[in-house]
Structure 1
Amino acid sequence: MKNLKKINILILCLFALAGMTSCEYDNFDAPESMLTGNVVFEGEPISVRSAGVELELWQRGFELFQKIPVHVAADGSFSAKLFDGEYQMTQLNNNGPWINNPDTLHVTVRGNTVVDFEVTPYFIIPNASFSLSGTEVTATFEAQRAFQNANIELIGLYMGTTYHTDRVRNEAAFEITAANLAQPEGQFVVRGQIPAGLRSRSQIHVRVGVKNVGTEELVYSLPFLLQLN
C-alpha cells in the first residue's frame, strides 16, 4: 500500500511538472517586430526568382546560435518577424545573381524596422517593355553590366499565369544563348508565341531574365501583367 501511495504521489508530481512546463510554453511571447526591406543596387531593388534567393540573419549572445533564413520575393523585397535586438545580415554564399560578398550588415530591430541590403549584381535590367501582336509577345529590354567581369550565358522571356513566373515556374520559356547574341550587353529583343493553353486567358504574366556564366540564379525584370483580351 505504501508503494502504491508513493507511485500515486509521483504521478501527481509529474502531472504538476507537465502543467508548469505547459504554462511556460503558453506564456512564451512570439516575435512581434517586423523587419522589411529590399535587396538593392545603387538604391534600386533587384528582381529575382521568388523564394529562390535568400539572405541570412544571425543573432549572437544566445545559447542557440543558428541562422534565420530571409527569403527574397520576386520584386527584391524581404520581410521577417523578429524579436527586438541586434542582428547581423549576410548573403547566403553562391546564392543570388550577384557577386559573393562576405560583408555583414548590422541591423538593430526596434519595433517595425526598414533596412535595405546592398549587393553588386552581375547585370541589371533598368527597363523592359512588352508588346503583343496576335499571339506573339515581344520583349525589349536593356542588360547592363554592373560587375566588370560579368558575361551573359543566356537571356530569356518567360510567360506564366502567376506573379511568380520565372525560369523555374512558367508555362512558356524562350531563351537565347550568348553564342546567338550580337553583343555582350546592351539592348535585346526576345519574341515568343503564347502557348495554346494560355490564349483563352484575359491576361498573363511575362518577364525577362539574364543569366551570368557560372551563376545559377538570373536577374529579372519585374513581372508584367500583359492583357490578352
Structure 2
Amino acid sequence: MNRNLEELLKEQKNIKVIDSSIDYRDYVALDLSATHTDQLDLNLTDALIFEEFIENHLSNNKAKVAFGGYIETRNLYRRSTVFKNENTDERNIHIGLDLWIKAGTSVLAALDGKIHSFQDNTALGDYGPTIILEHNYENITFYTLYGHLSSESLLEKEIGKIVKKGEQIATLGAAPINGDYAPHLHFQIIKDLQGKFGDYPGVCSRKEVEFYLENCPDPNFLLNIE
C-alpha cells in the first residue's frame, strides 16, 4: 500500500523549526486574516509598527512565539506588485505557516535532508534570504522552505550539503532584509517544486488555491503545535 506525504508527516515526532528551547506551550495563535486586520487600527505597511503589534500580542498572552496563517486570506500583501499587478490575479492566500519571534532567533532543519537551493529574494514583500531543503523518506521526496532569514544565513551554504533534523541552518532576519516584515519564519512544505530554485510561491490567488492545497500540505501536520 502506497503511503502519502501527509501520513508520513503526521508520524514524525518532536519537530521544531525555531529555537528548540521554546516549548509549544509558549506559542500563541495569531489571526492575520483580512477580516480581522481590517478591524484593527494597524498600518500593515510599516514593519516597525507591525513588529510592535506582534510583541504586544506575545506580551498580552504571556507567550514567546506567535503562529498561524496556513490558508489564511490576508491584506498584508497589497503594498507589493509581487502579489498583484495589471497582468496577474491578486495573490493573497497564505500557503505556509508563519512563526513570529524576534530577529536573530535560530532556525532549524525540520528533518534530515540536504540543501536543495538558496537565494535572496529581494523584492518588497518577498522572502528575502531563503533556504530550501530536500528530504527523502520512504522513497517520498519533498521539500521544506525557510523564508525571511538574515543575510548571514546564506553565507557558506552549499547545494547538496547534508543537514540533520534540529540542526541550526539560519537565523531570522530583520526588516528590510527579510522582505520588510516584522521578524518571522515562513515555513512551508512542498511536494513538487516545479523547477523552482531558492524560491517558491508562499501566497496564491483564489483560482490557484486547490492546486496549492494539494502541493503544499499544512505544516502543522509536521510541527503538531497544539
TM-score normalised by length of structure 2: 0.24
* Structure showing greater Rg: 1
Higher relative contact order (CA 8 A, sep 6+): 2
TM-score normalised by length of structure 1: 0.24
More helix as a share of residues: 2
More strand as a share of residues: 1
